[in-house]
Chains A and B, each alone.
Chain A
Amino acid sequence: MRVSDILTDSNFELLSNKSETKLEIKSFFASDLLSHVMGNAGEGSALITVLNNINVLGVASLLDMSCVIFSHGVKVNDEIIKKSNELGIPLIRTKLTTVSTILILDKIGL
């Protein structure tokens, strides 16, 4: 599954540049605690979180994650979007809850 596959569903909106959406997603990881993400998420995974600060991208970059999906429609500021474009990590936002996000991703082909 690629990042672009998620964007075929209208619940998901791409916040960052289109250039990196061909990245492959190897797994999904949902958490709002960065130490849990650091300790448990795998390389190439997509992170689902409501945590909308710059450190999310720091962790995503260190772990070579494929994208970050912000659930619950959280606000994402320009600084985060700019950083994601620099790092080449796609940012996606959805109004869905974290649980609904996972259920829909499962249908798309998780």
Chain B
Amino acid sequence: MENYCKEFKIQKNDIGNAGTVASLTKRELKRRGLTRDFVKTVTIGIYEAEINVVIHSYGGTCEVCIDDKYVNVTFKDNGPGIECIDSALTPGFSTASHYAIENGFGAGMGLPNIKSVSDEMELTSSKEGTTLHMKFNISGDSYES
């Protein structure tokens, strides 16, 4: 099947549209015949990261690329950066605003969930911005039989 690569813009505090990237990627993965479990795994990772960009950053982009072997997803935001990555990766640790918590987010489970569902995860951050890359391996078992 042909390779798929798409870039999305994500706006700060745009909670109403958060989940759009996850939803469109889910549709593409299903179209490619990947299993429900595989689709769910990728969807969880993308959704959590999308929410993070919306509630914590000044906005950014997400690139989703799918080929026969991998789903590669890269989120880049425009800051303000993660002060302590180790803390951010600790389940339950949260710096979320009241606004985010009111909307059901900010439980401190976003990055731990991403780490747990992805096959590889790289996170780098400075005041200028944060980059999160996650990779999901596609094998023969990832396809519906």
Contact = CB atoms under 8 A, between A and B. Distances in A.
Interface residues of A, number: 19
Contact of A55 (B36, B103, B108, B109): B103
A64 B104 contact: no
A58 B19 contact: yes
Interface residues of B, number: 23
Contacts of B108: 35
A38 B15 contact: no
B12 interface: no
A18 interface: no
Given A55-B15, A55-B18, A35 B107 contact: yes
Given A55-B18, A55-B19, A62-B19, A39 B44 contact: yes
B43 A62 contact: yes
Nearest to B117: A39
Nearest to B109: A35
A43 B43 CA distance: 13
Interface in B111-142: 113, 116
Interface string B79-99: 000000000000000000000
Given A43-B36, A54-B16, A59 B47 contact: yes
Interface in A37-64: 38-39, 43, 51, 53-56, 58-59, 61-64
Nearest to A37: B104
Interface in A17-32: 32
B59 interface: no
Contacts of B47: 38, 58-59, 62
A39 B16 CA distance: 20
A63 B39 CA distance: 10
A105 interface: no
Contacts of B19: 55, 58-59, 61-62
B105 A34 contact: yes
B60 interface: no
Q: Sorted from nearest, which 4 A-B pairs have the closest CB atoms?
A: A35-B109, A58-B19, A33-B107, A34-B104
Interface of B: 15-16, 18-19, 22-23, 26, 36, 40, 43-44, 47-48, 51, 103-105, 107-110, 113, 116
